[in-house]
Chains A and B, each alone.
Chain A
Amino acid sequence: MKKLLIIAMLLASPLWAVEPGEMLPDAAQEARAREISKGLRCLVCRNENIDDSNAGLARDLRLLVRERITEGDSNEAVVAFVVARYGEYVLLNPKTTGTNMLLWAAGPLMLLGGGVLAVLGFSRRRRAVAAPADLTDEESVRLAKILDP
């Protein structure tokens, strides 16, 4: 009944991200809800999480997340529940399974590739022109004098 009242109250006014009335009385639970909300996509928005979104659908999801939390679900269970209903599309943090491995591995792989290319380029350059010999001690002293009178 109380929940219905809250929803009725919210419907009366235009919507605006997280409303005071939506928030859970338990601060720890509310903090968890916020954390989870930041990783869930507002399905009708462009690249916006449900925590920041003004859309009605985002509010429904926010309430759903809070409902699952008060029911005693863990964070993972809440996310799994939402994904089961709305699909993977709802996750802003893409899963690390299957073809997504490519996405997650792209950075490290490209860095490795870049490093290998740089080293190859370096050694090729080095072979092309042999490095000149080091300065002798005498030369170093002279050079120091010239550079720093």
Chain B
Amino acid sequence: MNAELGHFALILGFAVAIVQMIVPMVGAQKGWQSWMDIAVPAAISQFVMTLLAFGALMWAFIVSDFSLQVVVANSHSAKPMLYKISGTWGNHEGSMLLWVLILTLFGAMVAVFGRNLPPSLKARVLSVQSAIAVAFFAFLLFTSNPFVRLAIPPLDGQGLNPLLQDPGLAFHPPFLYLGYVGLSMSFSFAVAALIEGRVDAAWARWVRPWTLAAWIFLTIGIALGSWWAYYELGWGGWWFWDPVENASFMPWLIAAALLHSAIVVEKRESLKSWTILLAILAFSFSLIGTFIVRSGVITSVHAFANDPTRGVFILAILGVAIGGSLTLYAARGSILSSKGVFSIVSRESGLVLNNVLLVVSALVVFVGTVWPLISELAFDRKLSVGAPFFDTAFTPFMVVIAIVLPMGALLPWKRAQLGKTVKPLFGAMVLSIALGLLVWVLQTGGRMMAPIGLALAAWLVLGAIMDVALRIRAGKIPIGDSWRRFRNLPRADLGKATAHAGLGLTIFGIAAITAWEVEDIRVARVGESFDLKGALTTYQIRFDDVNTVQGPNYRATRGEFTILADGKAVAHLAPEKRFYPVSGMPTTEAAIDIGVTRDVYVVIGDPQQDGGWAVRSYVKPFANWIWAGAVVMALGGLLSLTDRRYRVAAGARRKARKLAAVAPAE
């Protein structure tokens, strides 16, 4: 019954979406207020319907309703509750329903919080947003219905892939989707602005917070996924340049570019048409990502050819959305006149450079991701494009971005003198290079990766600190005055410095783990000790015991290890090798002693013929800095999101409207 209610709610949502797509748009064209007014209640009810459907599906997972096909295929009665719930989106149908839920959520948020938007713009935005929803409702209902019943329900389900039964991955998809579906908002605003023919600072003031929010979620989502891979896959890999990862990384890069160019529109009324294009591109990459993940076309052309319905459907959505919006852009983009003029050395130019680098790097990832497909279809040449290509082709962009970022961040608007701007950064520059050189001298031989990475990271962090120090004139005026200035500093500026420093932390973590990781693979017997020589400390690993553990839905072999440094125990680690009887799959559960300067990472493998066990152990220097940096970047975004101008601007306009209402008509 619940499932039927969910199915029915989904169909209702689809119907409402169709109305919301057409009526407000016509209203906006004709200037009929009552037609435009439909958008708000429609957007809210669309969201409520989808929420009902999602709730019904989640309920089916919670109570293990094995009369539903998706529940049978992806759940099991013995699974812990958290994974029953996360199982809701741990499969194709459910995850697409989550996709639509978030899409309608963003629409509803504009409806609720968009009171002070110009009515015609709001109507058009909601109409465009609903057009996307229509496409995905149809996709769900016609190709991926989660509410399909089975005539003869089995006694129990087939279980969820054990690799996905993990808290990190339980919350990874919702964050990721909040991010890349959230970019639909910027897209809708861009298309609405093109139809409207007007882009101004107020428009940017609306688009930027939405993009920022989406970008923050995307940052957290990607970091969660990477962290999961680090501890779950058993050897501490944290990024693989897998098509599925690239699918979320490309929108992240473009959204980062969009965030920056929207500032120029907002503050200088310049780069308008470019910003619109970026907004379209950002969501286009989200759609491309969805296509890559959902159709399986990149994984295997043949899998796609065998069951092309879903893939072709998304491809059609993709074609209409991207083709349509770009055509509209080509036709109308030129009417968006920019006002601001700027010199070749200026904050604006710095942001243009940022945009060029971020967008081209995203395109490099894109070309690399689809190249195997292109090569096979166009040149009949079957090949792979893997991590080595992306490392070589992508890294230089990040290096250049890191080099120019602290300088660009300090440039004044409109017209600047490079020498004058860079002068205060001289100390930071010298210090960073010195640090890099020091590391280069200290590490005997080894890769250049670490010194360069460290120098860049220090440069970014020091640059961010200098950015704030210059703003508060630290050292130039009494400390009390500096403090007052610091407190009055706009949150957006603090957020900017924080996010830039976060990038530095991530770069440092990546460089350190790549250059200094130590690995040891061996057969060890219970009672044995062995040395693990890290970059800073040599650890002794003592293999104390092996025992068998019964989990809620798995059996595990658990190794007991003591980690010693200079004879003193620093940690007790218990890695497991689990076996899930329902799916017949083993997983490795690494045990990690997390530290600021290093992680000690131990994995237990199979018993050997001679009585020992395969044991892998690693020292991973500064590993956590990778994700800590991502968290700091997200925090920076959050700080910027709470900036006074977004809060006050809304209040001021409301006040102005009230005043206008009170004033006699002219």
Contacts and interface: CB of A to CB of B under 8 A. Distances in A.
B142 interface: no
Contact of A17 (B234, B352, B378, B383): B234
Interface stretch (B7-15, B203-211, B363-371, B548-556): B363-371
Given A16-B614, A131-B343, A104 B393 contact: yes
Nearest to A148: B473
B382 A106 contact: no
B424 interface: no
Contacts of A104: 393
A78 interface: no
B521 A93 contact: no
A41 B386 contact: yes
B338 interface: yes
Contacts of B607: 13
Interface of B: 233-235, 237, 240-243, 270, 274, 299, 338, 341-344, 349, 352-353, 356-357, 359-361, 363-364, 367-368, 371, 375, 378-379, 381-389, 392-394, 396-397, 415, 521-523, 586, 588, 605-609, 614, 616
Interface of A: 9, 12-14, 16-21, 23, 38-39, 41, 46-49, 52, 87-95, 98-100, 103-104, 106-107, 110-111, 114-115, 118, 121-122, 125-126, 128-129, 131
A103 B472 CA distance: 47
Contact of B344 (A47, A94, A122): A122
27 contacts: A13-B606, A13-B607, A16-B588, A21-B608, A39-B386, A39-B388, A46-B299, A47-B384, A52-B237, A88-B383, A91-B383, A92-B385, A93-B389, A94-B383, A95-B383, A98-B379, A98-B381, A99-B379, A100-B381, A103-B368, A104-B393, A106-B363, A106-B364, A107-B364, A107-B367, A107-B394, A110-B360
A98 B512 CA distance: 36
Contact of A89 (B274, B382, B387, B388): B382
| Residue of A18, A47, A95, A106 with most partner-chain B CB within 10 A | A47
A47 B381 contact: no
B382 A88 contact: yes
A47 B243 contact: yes
A91 B233 CA distance: 22
B384 A91 contact: yes
Given A13-B606, A88-B384, A100-B381, 14 more contacts: A9-B609, A21-B608, A47-B243, A88-B383, A90-B384, A92-B384, A92-B387, A99-B381, A110-B364, A114-B360, A115-B356, A118-B352, A122-B349, A125-B341
B606 A14 contact: yes
A1 B392 CA distance: 42
A111 B521 contact: no
A99 B382 CA distance: 12
Contact of B360 (A17, A91, A92, A111): A111
B606 A110 contact: no
A89 to B, nearest CB: 5
Contacts of B384: 41, 47, 88-92, 94
Contact of B386 (A23, A47, A99, A111): A47
Nearest to A109: B360
A16 B605 contact: yes
Contacts of A121: 274
A19 B388 contact: no
A17 B235 contact: yes
Nearest to B380: A99
| Residue of B234, B379, B606, B616 with most partner-chain A CB within 10 A | B606
